[in-house]
Amino acid sequence: MRRSISLALALALMLLGPAHAQTAWPAKPIRLIVGFAAGGSTDVTARIIAQALSERLGQPVVVENRGGAGGNIGADAVAKADPDGYTLLMATSSTFAANPNLYKTLPFDVQKDFAPITVTAFIPNLLVVNPSVPANTVANFIAYLKANPDKLNFASAGNGTSQHLSGELFNSLAGVRMTHVAYRGGAPAVSDLLGGQVQVIFAPLVEVIQQVRAEKLKALGITTAKRSPLLPEVPTILESLPGYEVALWNGLLAPAKTPPDIIDRVNRATTEALRSPEVKARLAEQGSEPVGNTPAEFKAFIASELVKWRKLVEISGATVQ
């Protein structure tokens, strides 16, 4: 009889164990790693999402910036982190679609070492120049570059980032030459653009919109196929340069083998936040379009983006040592 009771208790504890673990998570703060410097587009989006997740998960979600190597350093840290739900990554199209096609080797596999959670937003890049550049449209900017090859430097948030690729694709399609200067994030790149150390950048709209509105920088074109409602007067680059389009995205991932119930919970909390008027409004202020999809959809999306960006890399001729 006692043996039967003991077995029954043991079975009950086994059944309760997973349920208890599920309700116990999260029991401590969660790290959200950003592979770029503070103040950039990815960082701003991450902090919006982190605040919304903190409110919905009942634990602080702390943003940790680990910039460098086009987001690879931050991604590698997450790939090697314990898959316990306490380390997440704000991934970007640069790191997860462009970099695998630009770098000969990476310390992680974007399709095997991560558990996709959801795409958070789509983001346009904006072609802006220092006021010293004598061009006010994409067409006369191209004409100036053709007359002055190698005279201008274009900045980026790092080798292999979307900003780097956007500039190299522009060079290739327009038949011009600008010199690439890589920084450890978007914020220091924009700072040097304002100071005139570099003259051009293809930056996420949020990183430069205030300077454009203050007329400290000149906006020449949007990299996406449609104009931004935040700057409707700024044309797309595509309107002057056929074939040019670069669309960016970011999303949440966790280390591979993170328990599915934790992935599902973060997914539900994030998609709920992305549907909220407050988060939608804050992302819209950056020109970002909130998304929110399932882990399976995000996984398929990454696979399709790898193919798309491989073609963009081939067209641009961009490489990273």
Rg (CA), the chain: 22
pLDDT score of 11: 52
Structure pTM?
0.78
Please tell me the distance from the alpha carbon of residue 78 to that of residue 315, in angstroms, as a whole number.
Answer: 31
Q: Which amino acid is at 202?
A: F
Please report, rounded to a whole number, the percentage of residues in the chain having pLDDT higher than 70: 93
* Superfamily (CATH H level) for 29-122+248-316: Bordetella uptake gene, domain 1 (3.40.190.150)
Please tell me the distance from the alpha carbon of residue 286 to that of residue 257, in angstroms, as a whole number.
Answer: 33
Please tell me the distance from the alpha carbon of residue 115 to that of residue 24, in angstroms, as a whole number.
Answer: 21
What is the third-level CATH fold of 124-239? D-Maltodextrin-Binding Protein; domain 2 (3.40.190)
Please tell me the distance from the alpha carbon of residue 139 to that of residue 239, in angstroms, as a whole number.
Answer: 10
The full 3-state SS of 160-195, as one line of letters, equals CCHHHHHHHHHHHHHCCCCEEEECCCHHHHHHHHHH
122 bridge partner residues: 249, 289
pLDDT band at 96 (very low <50, low <70, confident <90, very high): very high
pLDDT in tens, 124-170: 899 999 999 999 999 999 999 999 999 999 999 887 778 888 999 99
| Mean confidence (pLDDT) of the chain | 90
CA 180 remoteness from chain centre: 20
pLDDT in tens, 243-252: 999 988 999 9
Identical fold for domains 29-122+248-316 and 124-239, yes or no, is yes
pLDDT score of 124: 87
DSSP element (H, E) containing 113: none
pLDDT in tens, 212-268: 999 999 999 999 988 988 899 999 999 999 999 998 899 999 999 999 999 999 999
pLDDT score of 292: 96
Q: Which residue has the higher pLDDT, 12 or 62?
A: 62
Q: Are 156 and 182 in contact (CB under 8 A)?
A: yes
Whether omega for the bond prior to residue 232 falls within 30 degrees of 0, making it cis, is no
For the chain, the structural domain boundaries read: 29-122+248-316, 124-239
DSSP track, 213-246: HTTSSEEEEESSSS--TTSTTSPBGGGTSTT---
> Quick check: helix, strand or coil at residue 84?
coil
